[in-house]
Amino acid sequence: MKRYTILIFMIVFLNSCNGFLDITPETLVTSDKFFVTKSDYDQALLGAYQPLQNIYNTDWILTELVSDNTFFVYNIANRGTKPTEDFATFTLETNNGFLANQWLWFYQIISRANQILEKIDESNLSQIDKDNIKGQVLFLRGFAYFELVKKFGDVPLFLSVPGSYSDAFLPRSTSDKIYAQIISDLNISKTLLPAKKDQIFGKANSGAALTLLGHVYLTQKKWKESETVFREVLNMGYSLLPSYVDLFKPSNKGHNESIFEICYLDGTSFNVGSTFLYSFLPTITNPSIITGVSPSSVNSGNFNIPTPELLGAYEDKILDKRFSASIGFHSGNSPVPGVVYNNFPFIKKYLQPHVRFGETNNNFPIYRYADVLLMLAESLNEQGKGNEAIQYLNLVRSRAGLTNVQYISQPELKNLILNERRIEFAFENKRWQDLIRSGNAVSIMRDFGKKVILNPSNYYYPLNTAPLTGSFNVQVTNFIYPIPVREIIVNPSLTQNPGY
């Protein structure tokens, strides 16, 4: 592979993260000539970050819609939405385009990271710049593999740039091997990256690397290791914002609770705005009624609708400030056949001022300090340290306006932490993996499915419509998704996951 095409989609995106460098696009150059200057490496690094924007405009489909937090309106007039709905009803097919795209985008990150890693050590950059760039690409590679292994299980492990056609088609490596590589990458990354205060906003820092490492250990149920890592993050200067509402304001990007977020910018010609908000709104003829942005047209909404179960999970909808900050309600007519909105719930958390219909200036939060506190509480409780764990849980509750809870037993605290995470991170794409880690995913989602089948109108199905036969047959095999069929076609070394 003698030539590389560096596609720079993110010039304006950088400007949305205060302090980013101005970049001059390159077209087609040889790798030896391209990887020379600091500017070259900055552009290549930007290309490694770029797929994250694509991923987090739709990641909610694989991580939130699949849980009991949200559902969708069944639109009998538009069945082109079925590939999205299939996640919620557990009727996935192996040719699902959202799966194929996620696979592609994460491997784009890995490929671009490997290209930089191949050159960075021999470059003429200063040691400080080498360390910073290398730390970021190791973070990105570790992040990408963590998402792949959670979503697909065993996956091909690329640690270098393929030197031949055959090198580009690897068999699947075991999850244990993938996790070992992730931990190795992050252990190096955390030592190379600067702290948040010394890093350009929008780029990975040492706190992000540590938080990701702790999350990896937590997912593996290595409680002691995750506790150790999260305690390091406690001493890095992060803090809870006093107001939950302020967490999601575009004017407040990079706040003191933010550890890592995906940057977007609306109102440009470069398509670097976030779009997920418009999927979450009710489908209406004139969305400006809700958004205030005109002119507008019918939006493709009615997804990630808060479920009755989520609404009921708030212990006090008045005292808990997160309820009004996260969920809004709409009443009125709808262009969807058989649907009238009567106090219809929708995600309000990302409903922020923006200038153009269909795209917003909202960043997407990946890790924030509240997540560290609750993951640390979980790690401690699993080790029988409930009296200490409860302190971190109560810090989050207190900010929300709720009273402290007292430690009673390990199982009860486990449920309290799980529910607190459900509320605190509603619509931040954490619920599905939390259910899997808790061991409750099958039972909770089967029970949820039974309720939908028995009373479809309570879950936004129009009159005389209901879930398809075979929906909600939830099994342990559903914890990971099928390998996209197109990947198996082009790479016969790949095998399909059980159940698909």
pLDDT band at 32 (very low <50, low <70, confident <90, very high): low
Gap between the Cα atoms of 282 and 426, Å rounded: 18
pLDDT band at 10 (very low <50, low <70, confident <90, very high): very low
User: CA of 137: how far to CAs of 112, 176, 275, in Å?
Assistant: 8, 21, 26
Task: Say if residues 186 and 139 touch (Cβ distance below 8 Å).
Answer: yes
Unique residue bearing structure tokens 């409903």: 351
Task: Say if residues 63 and 431 touch (Cβ distance below 8 Å).
Answer: yes
What is residue 304's DSSP assignment?
A: E
Q: How far apart are the first and last CA of the chain?
A: 35
Gap between the Cα atoms of 63 and 485, Å rounded: 20
Can you point out the beta strands (E) in 21-176? 28-30, 70-72
* Residues of the domain holding 128: 3-67+85-265+365-490
Gap between the Cα atoms of 377 and 387, Å rounded: 10
Task: Say if residues 292 and 353 touch (Cβ distance below 8 Å).
Answer: yes
Q: Specify if 471 maps to a domain.
A: yes
pLDDT band at 11 (very low <50, low <70, confident <90, very high): very low
> Amino acid letter at 158?
F
The closest of 461, 463, 344 to 73, measured between CA atoms, is 461
Task: Say if residues 72 and 89 touch (Cβ distance below 8 Å).
Answer: no
Q: What is the pLDDT of residue 343?
A: 97
The closest of 279, 212, 220 to 59, measured between CA atoms, is 279
DSSP string for 307-325: PHHHHHH-S-TTT-HHHHH
Cβ-Cβ contacts under 8 Å for 481 (sequence gap 6 or more) = 62, 92, 99, 151, 152, 497
**Over 80: is that where the pLDDT of 3 sits?**
no
Q: Specify if 479 maps to a domain.
A: yes
Q: Specify if 230 maps to a domain.
A: yes
Cis peptide bond N-terminal to 337, omega within 30: no
Gap between the Cα atoms of 206 and 248, Å rounded: 23
**Over 50: is that where the pLDDT of 366 sits?**
yes
**Over 70: is that where the pLDDT of 272 sits?**
yes
Beta-ladder partners of 258: 368
pTM exceeding the 0.75 threshold for the entire prediction:
yes
> Amino acid letter at 91?
T
Backbone angles phi, psi at 487, to 5 degrees: -70, -35
Q: Specify if 290 maps to a domain.
A: no
Domain CATH for 431: 1.25.40.390
Angle between helices 38-49 and 127-152 (to 10 degrees): 20
Q: Specify if 338 maps to a domain.
A: no
Beta-ladder partners of 329: 345
* Per-residue pLDDT tens digits for 100-119: 999 999 999 999 999 999 99
Quote the percentage of the chain above a pLDDT of 70. 94
Q: Which two tokens stand for residue 74?
A: 């069944």
**Over 50: is that where the pLDDT of 20 sits?**
no
Q: Specify if 332 maps to a domain.
A: no
Quote the percentage of the chain above a pLDDT of 90. 91
* Per-residue pLDDT tens digits for 450-464: 999 999 999 999 999
Gap between the Cα atoms of 347 and 237, Å rounded: 30
Q: Specify if 324 maps to a domain.
A: no
Gap between the Cα atoms of 42 and 335, Å rounded: 47
Cβ-Cβ contacts under 8 Å for 354 (sequence gap 6 or more) = 250, 266, 267, 273, 291, 293, 360, 361, 362
Q: Specify if 359 maps to a domain.
A: no
- What is the rounded average pLDDT of the residues 280-308? 96
Q: How many domains does the chain have?
A: 1
* Per-residue pLDDT tens digits for 378-415: 999 999 999 999 999 999 999 999 999 999 999 999 99
Gap between the Cα atoms of 284 and 150, Å rounded: 35
Beta-ladder partners of 3: 30
Give the other-Cβ count within 10 Å of 251's Cβ.
9
- What is the rounded average pLDDT of the residues 429-445? 98
